Amino acid sequence: MTVVTNLSRRERKKIASRERIVAEAIELFSRHGIAEVTVDQIAAAADIGKGTIYNYFETKEDIIVAFLVGFEPEVQDALASLMRSQRPVSTILTEFITRQFKMKEPYHAFVRVFLAQMLLRTQQFLPYMVEMQKTIDPPLEKLFTTLLQRGAIRTDVAIPELVMVFKTIQLGLTALWAVEGPPFKGTESVVKQEMMLFAKGLESRK
């Protein structure tokens, strides 16, 4: 939820309208699929005019990006606490991924729909995914830089490359999480194993 203190009534109303659009759109996408939902349907569900939606978002994909980016403050808070940790690398990375899954658990149905659409409509989604990486990458780069400075990981692999490999693994784990569904016991086990193997390859070579 967006913090709305110290804002004018008009600004609070705009924020509330935007959040309502996103919430109703995600609910519709989760139940019917992204391609099948129209802007008219989103407007009706949010009880606003169709034109109002276009005041905030140019496309349905922009709504999805706004929803996913909305998790970033929580993600960055998690990373900030993990960066202060002196625990093993595998433990830190496992906790980071499992925290993200916990955040997204109420939206499990939407994640399944989103992953399916991302694979089926890759070219359409690619520009939006590229834009999202501008928000996702910097905190991860900071995490791996902190681990590097701590002497916890090897120095002969560039940080951007580590981030890319980590995100690729994370995408596969997210797909497993989406397919399995609650209570996610199989996913939890695989996450631990994957991160142990990944961290083993990152061990500092002194």
Listed residue (146, 173, 2) closest to 79, CA to CA: 146
The one-character DSSP state at 107 is: G
Q: Are 132 and 64 in contact (CB under 8 A)?
A: no
- pLDDT tens for 13-38 read 889 999 999 999 999 999 999 999 99
State the DSSP string of 38-93. Answer: -HHHHHHHHTS-HHHHHHH-SSHHHHHHHHHHTTHHHHHHHHHHHHT--S-HHHHH
Q: Helix, strand, or coil here: 25?
A: helix
Q: Which residues contact 59 (CB under 8 A, 6 or more apart)?
A: none
Q: Which residues contact 99 (CB under 8 A, 6 or more apart)?
A: 75, 78
Please tell me the pTM assigned to this model: 0.86
CATH number for the segment(s) 9-59:
1.10.10.60
Domain with CATH 1.10.10.60 in the chain: 9-59
Q: Which CATH number fits domain 71-202: 1.10.357.10, 3.20.20.70, 1.20.272.10, 2.40.50.140?
A: 1.10.357.10
Burial 53-76 (b: 16+ CB within 10 A, else e): beebbeebbbbbbbbbeeeeeebb
- pLDDT tens for 41-66 read 999 999 999 999 999 999 999 999 99
Which pLDDT does position 206 carry in this prediction? 59
Q: How confident is the model at residue 129 (pLDDT cuts 50, 70, 90)?
A: confident
Domain with CATH 1.10.357.10 in the chain: 71-202
The one-character DSSP state at 155 is: S
- pLDDT tens for 162-187 read 999 999 999 999 999 999 999 999 99
